[in-house]
Structure formats: structure tokens, C-alpha cells
Amino acid sequence: MKQAMTPEEIKAKKPYLDWSLSEVEYDYISKKLLGRLPNYTETGLFAAMWSEHCSYKKSKPVLRLFPNKNSRVLQGPGEGAGVVDIDDGQAVVFKAESHNHPTTVEPYQGAATGIGGILRDIFSMGARPIASLDSLHFGELSDPQMRMKVDGTVRGIGDYGNCMGIPTVAGETTFDPCYQGNILCNAMSVGLMDQRDLQRGTANGVGNAVMYVGAKTGRDGIHGATFASADFSDEHATQRSAVQVGDPFMEKLLLEACLKLIHQHPDWLVGIQDMGAAGIVSSSAEMASEGKSGMELNLDLVPQREPNMSAYEIMLSESQERMLLCVKKGHEKDVQKIFDFYDLDAVTIGRITEGHDYVLYHDGQEVCHIPVSSLTDDVLEEESREAKPERITKAEQAPQWQPQITDPAATLRALLQQSTVADKRTFFQQYDSQVRTCTVVGPGSDAGVIRVRGTKKGLAMTTDGNGRFVYLNPEAGGQMALVEAVTNVVASGAEPLAITDCLNYGDPNDPEIFWELHQSVQGMADACRVFDTPVISGNVSLYNENNGKAIHPTPMVGMVGLIKDLDYIVPSFAQHAGDLVYLVGQTGDDYAGSELQKMMKGDISGTVQLLDLDNIHHYLQQLLAQMQIGNVASAHDMSEGGLGVALAETLFKTDLGMNLDLRSLSAAQLFAESAGRLVVTVPVSAQAAFEKSLGHDAQLVGNVTNTHWLELHLQDAELNQNVTELQHLWEEAIPCQLKSKD
Amino acid sequence: MKIAVIVFPGSNCDVDLYEALRTVCDADVEYVSHHDSSLDGFDAVMLPGGFSYGDYLRPGAIARFTNIMPAVVKMANEGKPVFGTCNGFQILTEVGLLPGALKQNNQQRFICKTVPLEVVNNQTMFTSQYQAHERIQLPIAHADGSYFADQKTLDELEAHHQVVFRYAEENPNGSLRNIAGIVNRRGNVLGMMPHPERAVEAILGNTDGLKLFKSLLEHGRITVEG
């Protein structure tokens, strides 16, 4: 097929600028990498592969701050997903990915294909996905259009995951005006595998086949990668074609076929990779680069859903539910038979060649002939300017906001009805959380827990991110995101293993936003080192802006922890009247960025202190050791709404109450959001051992009672509140807002 | 008693049924592909939950035309136990082994939660270990579970004690007469929307489904091993 423009026309008309390739990059490619002008197809491939989404050219220098190794890590960043040893020859595989831009434009398909993409990353490694998590950040529910987007997003996640038969077991959903024009939809998938089945995205061995398997290629999602690398504005209202459409049934078949091939015939397979962002070009070029090979593809052989697609469209299509395999020569028919059983296409579209060239043929003509490395390894890293925002300098000098709370019961009732705090049952009941019958703890707890069949082991998992703290102090906010995840995982009795992340920020060309990215990653990285939880996978989502207004910087941490013996799993709610109640961690006047501040002031302000990470690490280790010998009856992390909300949640769904002497705290401090704290209940019989182990880091404040009342004696107020009423308010807040006719 | 668990394209509770039978109940169970056309040698057959053929067209509407279904119908006609949960129930109504249909939930959303049920009929091969009118809790997880049939069919179902499980306290999906599970007139084909296979182990927080499998295995012990 004729190219849409000649190389000379491209040089003159610069269409690549619309594809987010800069003039400097174009010149570098022409003069330094190729020594000639790239043709139309090649220019398109460069634009996609050199986009931030594929190349991380802006964020790479910052990502290098993360630790990504320890004795358990079997595979760090760079593959479909990270892999961690969980003993007995088994491994847990996990990764999170953002699908913010598609979900903002078309919530249902955006969220659905977000799930689809992350699942393929897991099973391309040879693992069976066993659980999904999400991290959703929306604008306020008072906006009717936002209610529609929330509904679409939740249905999209549910319909895809439910059909695939993978339980959604944990997650977070928050609401803040900063996400009004750009919602965040981050999905995490966790898989389980035998270590011997580990696969990599590589292609090598001259003559070996490059096989295309799964759904046919259409024109959907072209420019998805560059789309995610530019910000939204009302001027570009027609970006719908960049959103892909999902088919979970097709993906289920693809999952079963790929795992059958990997588990039963590993000797036929050289490598396997998902066709994600930038479709065939990214998967094939990355596999060739990894295998240090050359590759030739004949695009006429690619299964196509539509006629007359150009080479450019075929290569850049982001049609879903497709995988690329490198198969040993002679086994092409064997592989095809496996996919035939599932009625899936499996077609040899090319071969591994000598040398390192990436060559494409279309309509009998060579349409691309460039070095593999020019697409994958030679990308110009971009130095970014950084500047500390004035708002932060100002806030550091200004006095901190001090709330006046006279009726703590009224404040607690109001906080429990804030949509970020309120019960999310309305959403998570639309997700099948039990399929595969391994869900020991489902949604609505600190962390989801999945058992590992045939063993005593369990995996605890959580997603956490709070953009408000990061906005006020990126470094401290980064620390807090990690500490929150660690606290949630420890609360269920698990030892934190490693993390994945989604780094959601605004336009990195703005020096203040790049500074936020750098500072918060520094905070996360420091905390990762202290807790020995390396970053094994993740993604970066920049340009989360609407009409020039950026979201709060929102790094999301997805963490998995190992429970060695499920007999010692710890629930998040109180168990027995008479048990002792402890506060673990230190409570300060930490109101900046709190739910209380947002509720009372309508916005957040002030500054957030850096954490004493070593101390938090120390007492969480002690707490975990107590859990592992059965000395802890329940544990619940304190997050939005602080101690007050955590106490109420500890009593919901029980018929118990608490009577606590909190005279060391003011009524306001009941709602402070100091990081790394938990409410823990301990049987009286374990009091001595527990106190000896936790020392000053745990404060005995009272007992679990059998009255279903919360009775708190604070420094400057009393709180006496029926828990049934609190639970009712907490449960009805979101259904009530969704029914609003405004 | 040898039990077949059918695997359709898109089935996803097949593993759950298999494990409930094999690991928890120590039963003799095998997966059988929808491509196969024979169930010779099996004494009972189970149709698992999931999204056969993606629920495209209508849940169960395509699965009923697969190779294996004539063999399932044959077993039903021979009086052997046939059990379908969730999508399995939908397939059983589509193929005509059970009357009525499963419509979209009245709130038009997928719903996953544990609901209270009443065992209405404990005189079947699937429910003999339950007490009459026993209250149990079982998980539901479906988008299309609202049982529908015309008045005459509903009256006949009641008259012949074919309603086996009813939603108690609340009706989660709009099912007529709170129907959660029914048997055929002969009593050997049971379809139900709730998932007993998800409620067979204490570690998952619920064992109320165990008696269903125990009932069937006991029935098998008497009829097959004699």
C-alpha cells in the first residue's frame, strides 16, 4: 500500500508533532539513528515507541530511585509483571496499571480494558491470575455526570473481571474535586505460579516463528499510547477512537490457551508478551530487543477485522485480547492446535532473523527497515526542570490549621457519611469477590486475603494512595502511601513482600509537577528501603490534567504480603467482649490533608511532616510477631477519619462496643490522620506478652464491651454513641447520594 | 458415584465445583469438555457457573447447542442426577430440562453477596441432609438471576414441590415467588442461582452448601453402589 506521505513531506509538514514526537527527536532519529528520513510507517512507530507511555523517557531518571531487588525478588521491573518467591517453589506475580485517560473519556470500556490489559500482563508470565484490586479516584458524587462515570467505571471493572472469573478482593475508592475532569482508574492483578513456569517476553533463535494469537486487529485504540501522553482539553473533544473495546470472553479463552501452552509445552515456547500499549510494534520490538535478535514481520498475515488497514494502523492498533509468541521452528502447527481448541487465531506472522534489524512487509513491499534498538533502547531521555511550588513554601511558613471540636459524636457521624469514608458496598457488591473459592477476606477490610490452595499460606493484598498528603508535601505523602499499604497488610497478619505502583501526575513539562513526581518517588523509595518492600513492577501515568488543571499528585501503592499460616490471620473487627483495646503508633495534631479538614474547610491546606519510618517499621514488626503467635484478636488500620472512624469500623458488623479512656487525646485528635497507626484488640491472657513486645508504641485505652455503644472519654469531651446508628449512616451515605435527582 | 463437571468456553466456577467435590467431599469427579459428546460411565453431571460464551445473546443460549448437551439431556431422561448452579441453571432452562427463564436482575446490576435461603423441599436427592424449612446462607453472584415463569408454570412448580430453595427475608434480584432453585418433576434435575460450592469450607466463612453435595453423594452411595 502507498504511504500516506513521502519522507520529504513528513519532514516538511511535521505530522509527527501531532503524535507527540518532538522536532528534536525527529531530527535525532533521521540524522543519528537512521542516517536518512524515516518513512510514514516508521515515523508512526517511532512516535508510539518514544511516547512517555512506552519509553518512560521523562520518568526514567526518577524511577531509578526505587529499590527493586531483595532475596525474594525473582523478576523486577521490565517484564509483563514482577515476580516474588513465596517458598515451596511457588511465586506470586503482580502488577498495577493505570487506565485513567480511557476511563475518563469512556468509563465503562476504559475500566474494562484496564482490567483486561493487566490480566494479560500476569498470564503472559505463566501465572494464573487469582485476584484483582482497584484504586479509583473520582470527582464529587454531587455532580450527576460524575455519578454516571462512577457507575460506568464500576460496571466496566465488574463485567470484565466477573466474566473472566477472577475475584476482585480489595481496593479503594475516593472522591475529590481534583479528579472531576480526569478520573483515576488503576487496576492491579495478582497471579500465582510455580517458579519453573516463569516466562519472559523475549524472541530469539534465527528461524523461530513470531506467532500472533487471540483476537483480530481492528482500527480501535490507534494512538492509545500517545493519547495517554498528552493532557485533556475541551479543544480536542473527539478522542473517542483512542479508547479500546474489551471482550472478556475472548480474554478468558486466551488465558486458558496460553496457560495450557506454557504449562504443558514449555519446550515449544521461546517467549510470550501481551500486546498492550502500541500493540504489535511494542510487543514485537521489545521481544526482539530482549532477545538481541532481528525480526521480520509480514503484516498481510495479521488477522484483521477491517479491510484496507494501512501498515501504520495494523502496527499501532490497540485491539484487545491479543498476544505475541515466539515459537520454536517446527512447532507452529502444534501451537495452532492448542489455540484451535479454543477457537482462537494463531498465525505465524514473521521470523527471527540474523542481525538486529526490524523489518516489516505490507502488500508485498518493505515498509519499515530500522534497527530494533532505535525503537526500544535509543530513546532520548529528557531532562526535566524542577521547581518547588510556591504553595508549599508558603504553607511551611504559615501556622497549621487547628480544628475546634465540641461535639465529637456529631463530627464522627458526619465523617462516616463523607463519600471517601462511607461504606463502598454499593460498588464492590458488583464485583464477584468469591469466584475460585480462595477468598478468605473479601472487600471492605484492610487487605484482601487469598489462600494458596494445598498449603497453609495466604496472600494479603491492598492498594493505597492519598493524593491530598502528596499535594501538601510530596516527599511525606510518598512515605505515607507506602506506610498505609504496609499497615493494611500487617493488619491482616501478613509480612509485606513487595510493591507495584501507578504514578499518577499532571503534565511533567511543568517544573512544579516534575518536582512533585521526584519528591514523592523519593519518599516512597526511602520507605520501600526501610520496610524492605522493593518495587517489582508498575507504571507511570502523566498528563492527568483537564483544561490545564492537574490532579493531586497521586502515587498508588499496590502491596502483597505473605501469611505463612492462615490459622493466624487477623480480622479487622472486634472479636470478644472483655478484650483489651490498644492504640498502636503515635497520634499528633495531624490535620493537614485530613478528611476532617476537607469536610470542615471545603479544601485542604497546611503541611505534612516526614515520618519516623524506622520507628514505624520497628513496632509493625513487633506487632506482626505478636500476631503470628496468636496474641492479637483484631487489628484495623487508621486512615481517613482517623481513630474515630477506625473505632466505629472495628465495631460495625459485630454486636460489640468499646469503653475507652482517651484522656491523652483531645476531641480533635480523635480525627487526626497521623500515619502508621492501628486499633488493636488483644485477649486479656496475652496482655503481658503483648505489652512487653510493643512497649511504648502501644497504649492500653480500655476494653471491648457487649453493649454496642462507643463510649469515649476524651481530654475535653465525652462521646457516647450507639454503633447501630453509626453503621446505618455509614452504609446509607453512598446509596443515598447515588439516588439524588439533582 | 462418578461425577462429570462440564467445562464450557467461559465457564469459571468449574474449578470451584471440582474442588468442592474432590478436595472437600473426596468424590470421584472429572472435567468433561463441551467438545465431547458422551457421558458414558458417569453417574451424575454438573454444569458450573460462569459466563459460557460470554453470556452473549443470552446467558446459556449458546452453550445449550454444544456437543455435550445431548448427553446431558440423555442423563436427565435416564433419571440420573443433573445439577446446574448459576450459569448452569441458566443453561438447564435454555435446553428445556427445567421450566422458566432467568432474567436480568431487577436492579440491572451484577450482585455478589451472601443471602439467606429457605430449604423449601428437603425430600430431593440434592437436599435430603437439610432439615425441612432449614434457614441457610449461600453466596449469589450473578447479573441474570431473576427467575421468571408464567403463572400456570409457577403454580405447577409449587403444586409438585419443585421449588427447592427460596430467598428468605429479602429478594435480591426480583425472582418471582422468591425462587432461588427448582427441580424438574422427576426430581433429578436441580438448577439454582446460589453457589453451594462456595460454601463448603470453614476457612471461607461458610459451610452451608456442604449438605447439598453430601446429600447427592449419599444418594449415589445408595443407588450406584447399592
Unique residue bearing C-alpha cell 430453595: B165
pLDDT band per the 50, 70, 90 thresholds, residue B224: confident
Is the per-residue pLDDT at B160 higher than 80? yes
Is the per-residue pLDDT at A27 higher than 80? yes
Sheet of A448-451, strand order: A439-441, A448-451, A458-464, A554-563, A495-504, A535-541
Q: Mean pLDDT across the stretch A463-491?
A: 97
Q: Mean pLDDT across the stretch B90-119?
A: 97
Do residue A435 and residue B141 have CB atoms under 8 angstroms apart?
yes
Determine contact: A74 vs chain B, CB below 8 A: no
- The reported pLDDT for the residue numbered A234 is 52
CB-CB contact of A400 with A606 (8 Å): yes
Do residue A248 and residue B54 have CB atoms under 8 angstroms apart?
yes
CB-CB contact of A459 with A202 (8 Å): no
User: pLDDT tens digit string along A256-306?
Assistant: 999 999 999 999 999 999 998 889 999 999 999 999 999 999 999 999 999
* Spatial CA neighbour of A293 closest among A351, A356, A349, A378: A356
pLDDT band per the 50, 70, 90 thresholds, residue B90: very high
Unique residue bearing C-alpha cell 484478636: A633
Shortest distance between the Cα of A116 and any Cα of chain B, in A, equals 14
Task: Let me know how many helices (H) and strands (E) chain A has, helices first.
Answer: 25, 28
* Spatial CA neighbour of A132 closest among A165, A159, A169, A100: A169
- Domain of residue B131 covers 2-223
List residues forming the annotated binding site of A for substrate: 98-101, 120, 244, 318-320, 541
Is the per-residue pLDDT at A239 higher than 50? no
**A159 vs A249: CA distance, rounded Å:** 10
Cell numbers for A390, please give them: 510556591
Whether residue A53 lies in the annotated active site: yes
Where do runs of H (alpha helix) occur along A544-678?
A: 595-601, 613-627, 642-651
Q: Mean pLDDT across the stretch B150-168?
A: 98
Do residue B143 and residue A249 have CB atoms under 8 angstroms apart?
no
Is the per-residue pLDDT at A93 higher than 50? yes
Residue of A nearest to B20 (CA): A437
ipTM above 0.95, yes or no: yes
- The reported pLDDT for the residue numbered A219 is 86
| Cβ-nearest to A435 among B16, B20, B35 | B16
Shortest distance between the Cα of A252 and any Cα of chain B, in A, equals 6
* Spatial CA neighbour of A132 closest among A150, A156, A100: A156
Interface probe, candidates B12, B53, B86, B210, chain A, greatest A C-beta count within 10 A: B12
pLDDT band per the 50, 70, 90 thresholds, residue A537: very high
Shortest distance between the Cα of B177 and any Cα of chain A, in A, equals 23
Out of A99, A331, A518, A636, which one is annotated catalytic? A99
- Letter string b/e over residues B131-156, b meaning 16 or more CB atoms within 10 A of that residue's CB: eeeeebbbbbbbbbbbbebeeeebee
- Measured between beta carbons, the chain A residues lying within 8 angstroms of B12 are 163-165, 252, 435-436
User: pLDDT tens digit string along A557-574?
Assistant: 999 999 999 999 999 999
Shortest distance between the Cα of B131 and any Cα of chain A, in A, equals 26
| Main-chain phi, psi angles of A382, to 5 degrees | -105, 125
Average pLDDT, chain B: 97
List residues forming the annotated binding site of A for Mg(2+): 97, 121, 274, 539
* Spatial CA neighbour of A540 closest among A736, A315, A277, A286: A277
pLDDT band per the 50, 70, 90 thresholds, residue A1: very low
Catalytic residues of B: 86, 195, 197
- Measured between beta carbons, the chain B residues lying within 8 angstroms of A248 are 51, 54
pLDDT band per the 50, 70, 90 thresholds, residue A4: confident
Q: Mean pLDDT across the stretch A50-62?
A: 90
- Letter string b/e over residues A280-317, b meaning 16 or more CB atoms within 10 A of that residue's CB: bbbbbbbbbbbbebbbbbbbeebbbeeeebbbbbbbbb
CB-CB contact of A269 with A327 (8 Å): yes
- Measured between beta carbons, the chain B residues lying within 8 angstroms of A440 are 203-205
- The reported pLDDT for the residue numbered A241 is 58
**B42 vs B35: CA distance, rounded Å:** 16
CB pairs under 8 A between A and B: 87
Beta bridge partners of A210: A326, A350
Domain count within chain B = 1
| pTM of the model as a whole | 0.96
- Measured between beta carbons, the chain B residues lying within 8 angstroms of A430 are 109-112
**B58 vs A70: CA distance, rounded Å:** 50
> Residue B148 maps to which CATH number?
3.40.50.880
Is the per-residue pLDDT at A235 higher than 80? no
Determine contact: B174 vs chain A, CB below 8 A: no
CB atoms within 10 A of CB B55: 24
* Spatial CA neighbour of A164 closest among A194, A187, A195: A187
Determine contact: A245 vs chain B, CB below 8 A: no
Higher pLDDT, A232 or A194: A194
CB-CB contact of B146 with B162 (8 Å): no
**A424 vs A463: CA distance, rounded Å:** 15
Amino acid identity of residue B215, one-letter, is: S
Q: Mean pLDDT across the stretch A656-666?
A: 98
Do residue B201 and residue A437 have CB atoms under 8 angstroms apart?
yes
